[in-house]
Amino acid sequence: MDASIRLTVDGTEHVLDVDTRTTLLDALRERLGVTSAKKGCDHGQCGSCTVLLDGRRHLTCLALAVAYDGSEVVTASGLADGEDLHPVQQAFLDHDGYQCGYCTPGQVCSVVGMLDEVKQGHASHVTEDLEAEPDLTDDEIRERLSGNLCRCGAYRGILAATRQAATS
């Protein structure tokens, strides 16, 4: 069964017909040709498909497109203005926070979304004081980014990049 939905992706509005089985990830990749969001597991286990969905980081492989009619999606591609990079992306370059690049767009979106969560005072599993403003320690960063796997093992660079982006 098909359904018509409206999505704004990286600033461009699309009206598209999707199969009601279509995930948001497949709607982006297969229908719209937006391949910045990657498919690493299709089961919500790796984080490669992370985008900013209505401003929050979200796994698109676990979202059915039909449920997000009218939503706004920003991928890593849309975070940059052409070659003008988002500070988080520049920080990834500065600290070599990637190797093969496949998990990277998801990592970048996850960092952007995570920094906003911290700004809003969200606690994490390792936050000691749930009442206070969260202090973005290395442990907090590692914990909050553990939904994004990197098999190349670039976590050290991702941590340094996140620190830089958080303080700039």
Partner 1 sequence: MTADPVQHTPTPIRVRSVGTRLERVDGLEKVTGRAGYAVEHGADDGFDGALVAWLVTSTVARGRVTSVDTAAAAAHDGVVAVLDHTSAPRLADTDDGELAILQDPQVHFRGQVVALVLAETAESAREAASLVEVSYDVEEHEAELTEEAATYRPDSVNPAFDTDSDTGDVDAALAEAAVVVDEEYRTPHEHNNPMEPHATTAVWRSDGDGEVLDLVDSTQAVHGVASTLAPMLGLEQDQVRVRAPYVGGGFGSKGQPHAHVVAAALAARHVSPRPVRLAVTRQQMFALTGYRTATISRMRLGADADGRLTAIEHRVFEQSSKVKEFAEQTAVPTRMLYAAPNRRTSHRLAMLDVAVPSWMRAPGEMPGVFAHEVAMDELAQACGLDPVELRLRNEPDVDPETGNPWNNRRLPECLHRGAERFGWAGRPAEARATLEGDWWVGTGMAAATYPAYRQGGNAARVTALDGGRYAVAIGAVDIGTGARTVLTQIAADALEVGTDAVDLEVGDTRLPSASVAGGSSGTASWGSTIVAAAQAFRERHGDDPGAGAEVLAEAADDPLGTDVAFHSFGAVFAEARVHRRTGEVRVPRLFGVYSVGRVVNPVTAHSQLVGGLVMGLSAALFEESWRDARFGHVVTQDLASYHVAAHADVRDVDAEWLEESDDAFSPMGARGIGEIGIVGTAAAVVNAAHHATGVRVRSLPVTADHFLGGR
The residue ranges that bind partner 1 (CB under 8 A) are 19, 21-22, 26, 29-30, 33, 35-43, 45-46, 48, 75-77, 79-80, 83, 85, 89, 92-94, 96, 98-105, 108, 139, 141-143, 145-159
- Between 116 and 139, CB nearer to partner 1: 139
Give the nearest distance from C-beta 120 to partner 1 in angstroms.
Answer: 21
Give the nearest distance from C-beta 70 to partner 1 in angstroms.
Answer: 22
Beta-bridge mates of residue 56:
53
- Between 131 and 153, CB nearer to partner 1: 153
- Between 85 and 123, CB nearer to partner 1: 85
Tell me if 52 sits within 8 A of 39, measured CB to CB: no
Give the nearest distance from C-beta 42 to partner 1 in angstroms.
Answer: 7
Give the nearest distance from C-beta 55 to partner 1 in angstroms.
Answer: 18
Helices (DSSP H) in the chain: which residue ranges?
Answer: 24-26, 76-79, 87-94, 104-119, 138-144, 155-167
Residue with tokens 């990834």: 92
User: What backbone torsions phi and psi does residue 75 show, to the nearest 5 degrees?
Assistant: -95, 175
- Between 19 and 72, CB nearer to partner 1: 19
Distance CA 10, CA 147 (A): 23
Distance CA 16, CA 45 (A): 27
What the block records as the tokens of 154 is: 């670039």
